[in-house]
Amino acid sequence: MDIVKLYESWCENATEDKDIVKELCDIKNNEEEIHERFYTSLTFGTAGLRGIIGAGTNRMNIYVVRQATQGLANYVINKYGSGSVAISHDSRIKADLFMIEAARVLAANGIKVYITRELQPTPVLSYLVRYFKCQAGIMITASHNPAKYNGYKAYGEDGCQMTDAAATAVYDEICRLDMFNDVKITDFDEAVKSGMIEYIDDSVYDDYLEKVLEQQVNPGACKGADLKVVYTPLNGAGNKLVRRVLDKIGVEKVCVVKEQELPDGNFTTCPYPNPEIREALQKGLDLCEKEQPDLLLATDPDSDRVGIAVKDSDGSYRLISGNENGVMLTNYILSCKKEQGKLPEHPVVVKTIVTTKLINKLCDKYGCELKNVLTGFKYIGEIILNLEKNNEEDRFLFGFEESYGYLSGTYVRDKDAVVASMLVCEMAAYYKKQGKSLAQVIDELYDEFGYYINKTYSFEFEGAAGMQKMADIMANIRNNIPEKIDEYKVIRVCDYQLKKEFDLVGDDNVDIHLPTSNVISLNLEGDNCVIIRPSGTEPKIKLYITAVGKTHDDAVEICDRLVDSAKKTLGF
């Protein structure tokens, strides 16, 4: 069907959502606007769906959600015969509506549905899948994207985001469906009355919190520490559970950023609600100037990631990167458990390939096995699953990624800002009792292991032309590997699409035993590194820079030169 006919079909059939009806009417005779909405369909991948809210096959709306859910229903029925699915949502625009529409489709297909009464963090959805022994799960969220986006994350029966194979199977089912004629749907209220859709009792969240509390390293550390925290949920789903867990561990002084306390999918005070970005934390930093806390916590809209700022020696508030926080938490867990005699035999820490190499030094120090996985927390979840299959899940101590996602424990299979917030506060209290701030802790680690500066840069490529531009850039770098980045020789190249690691100074070429991914890592002299990776969820290419220096200023200067050289090499 050509684009015009597809648009006309929507005008005829997409009549249930008044916002879509108005949008279709508004773009009538506007070829460019019609093309952007209908030139393609949102692709169902391992991160599910994500797109701008609106009308069309290339937008997030009830019809795209229904079609995706029918595909998921077909997958569940084909694989399991029947089953159950848990669904939740965060504060995104239309997130509760999309949850209800997904539930209606599943119930119409004879699949039992467990849904939340209100928004919940993404890690809670992972927990619900495992708690109810579901065959799948759905989280309606666009994570940290701007307000105009929403998304649909699909989970497998293990509580991990769907594997590549499962996502492909669901996508194949979706592609066979006409979204207006092939989707089963039932009345929501009738499905609730019949028990096909069931609201989840609040006691389940108490069980979840108990599992979070079990991850404490030094129970009671916060009591008597006089720890003061400023917290912002960035108008998302973390507000209730993060504050509850901090209260339970004895953090008595929690000041909440009022403008960002309640759910608001418009994110009016932080247009890009990403804790990696200073602007998103500005309201929290402003409150820090007034309240003078020990640290600032900020959870993203679906509360699976947390960013922090800590009080520095000059009284200012220093933003701590995802890598730095992950290094501190790993060091805290390993050092305390070793001192307590609680390190398991052959402990395991997991990180993604774009996460700081400084963690390698820590793992060497404590005799801990470090596993590297592709970007995406589901791969960390898969490591836990494999350990569990061998009855070795107790070996897993910590998993994290540079983009502010952390997990301690095996009760969920996704990153969890609730447990991360708890551990950050516990860690801050533990060191405060020793007279140290977290700023001092990370600086001491740099003094011991070297100054590792990690920076991430994103380059956006909007629309159909942008996707082709991204593909061209990756093909060019793959076919024309540079000899140097700045003055540093490229000594090893890891091409995760070819699944090969090439030794450019010797002949030690090896296979990469990870799933295929369009990522290229240029490993340089001096442990420096440049990684190029197209985002799996957004129309952008990400550049990950690792610079290692003898001092902080030295590392920053090297990083700046690597960035400039890498951008020129890639044609940015």
Give catalytic residues, as residue numbers: 143
In the numeric block, the tokens 């898969």 are attached to 382
Quote the DSSP letter at residue 348.
E
Residue 340 CA to residue 344 CA, distance in Å, equals 11
Per the CB < 8 A criterion, the answer to whether 162 and 85 are in contact is no
Count, residues in the chain: 572
% helix / strand / coil in the chain, to the nearest 5? 40, 20, 35
306 three-state secondary structure: strand
What distances in angstroms separate CA 407 from CA 232, 373, 396, 412, 442, one per listed residue?
20, 15, 10, 8, 20
What φ, ψ does residue 81 adopt, rounded to 5°?
90, -45
* Separation of CA 190 from chain center: 35
Residue 374 CA to residue 388 CA, distance in Å, equals 20
Which residue type does 130 have? R
In the numeric block, the tokens 């790993």 are attached to 330
Cβ neighbours for 121, distance < 8 A, ≥ 6 positions apart = 90, 237, 238, 241, 299, 302, 303, 304, 416, 417, 418
Residue 429 CA to residue 438 CA, distance in Å, equals 9
Pairing mode of beta strands 520-524, 488-495: antiparallel
For residue 149 the two structure tokens come to 């986006």
Residue 334 CA to residue 400 CA, distance in Å, equals 14
Cβ neighbours around 179 below 10 Å, total = 22
Per the CB < 8 A criterion, the answer to whether 567 and 560 are in contact is no
Residue 306 CA to residue 297 CA, distance in Å, equals 7
For residue 355 the two structure tokens come to 């996460």
Pairing mode of beta strands 451-460, 540-549: antiparallel
What φ, ψ does residue 156 adopt, rounded to 5°?
-90, 180
Quote the DSSP letter at residue 87.
E
What distances in angstroms separate CA 157 from CA 10, 91, 113, 412, one per listed residue?
34, 25, 14, 12
In the numeric block, the tokens 């991160």 are attached to 47
